[in-house]
Amino acid sequence: MADTKTRIVTKSGELFRRNGYVGTGLKQIATEASAPFGSIYHFFPGGKQELAAEVIRTSGRIYQDLVMSLLDQAADPVQAMEHGFAAAAQLLVETDFADACPIATIALEVASTNEALRQVTAEVFDAWTAAGIERFERWGYPADAARRLTIAFIATLEGAFVLARTQRSTEPLQVAAATMSAAIRDARPS
């Protein structure tokens, strides 16, 4: 049973990321997950919204771990930004610009229409912010600068994903990397 639930969550995440919350149907999820349709309601009695909340939390943790591991591979925050944005660009190219942030696609759709899912996406973004602040503080930035830089990083990354996907170009990610690198240098503690 856990295998079926895992397949449902995994395939839902892929479909939500590519097609959005509204653009993904439960029958489509069941088909893609090779699961009986009724198993969705077995594991998620609250239906699509409960499933989406689980997908957002799960994908949010996975994506946070991925991004933070990329940042942790560099000792210097400027190198970390360059490495992180380059990896994001590579992912987009490898997926023909279909896969970007697993949270942003849903967050944009539900921010004004579904309070429960808006809250879940906010929780994920809060967790990312806390993890980013921790990295910047480890690199020697004071708490206020660490928070500003982290929020700027997340906002810049998400905006660059939107532009890159719509323009089918990695240029927005390259510009975002340069912009964040400059901001990090300017905020560097003396």
Is the distance from CB of 89 to CB of 173 less than 8 angstroms?
Answer: yes
| 49 lies in some domain | no
Give the confidence band of 2 by pLDDT, cuts at 50, 70, 90.
low
The highest-confidence range among 62-76, 89-103, 147-161, by mean pLDDT, is 147-161
| 106 lies in some domain | yes
What is the DSSP code string of 7-72? HHHHHHHHHHHHHTTTT--HHHHHHHTT--HHHHHHH-TTHHHHHHHHHHHHHHHHHHHHHHHHHH
Count: domains in the chain: 1
| 9 lies in some domain | no
Q: What average pLDDT is seen over the chain?
A: 93
| 142 lies in some domain | yes
C-alpha–C-alpha distance, residues 9 and 55, integer Å: 6
17 pLDDT higher than 90 = no
Give the confidence band of 190 by pLDDT, cuts at 50, 70, 90.
confident
Task: Quote the pLDDT of residue 120.
Answer: 97
pLDDT average, residue stretch 18-45: 94
| 36 lies in some domain | no
Convert the pLDDT of each residue in 163-173 to its tens digit: 999 999 999 99
User: Domain of 91: which CATH number?
Assistant: 1.10.357.10
Give the confidence band of 1 by pLDDT, cuts at 50, 70, 90.
low
| 44 lies in some domain | no
C-alpha–C-alpha distance, residues 142 and 19, integer Å: 40
For helices 171-187 and 77-94, angle between their N-to-C axes, nearest 10 degrees: 170
C-alpha–C-alpha distance, residues 44 and 51, integer Å: 6
User: What is this structure's pTM?
Assistant: 0.90
Structural domain of 151? 55-187
pLDDT average, residue stretch 86-114: 89
| 66 lies in some domain | yes
DSSP letter assigned to residue 103 = T
The residue with tokens 């690198």 is: 181
| 143 lies in some domain | yes
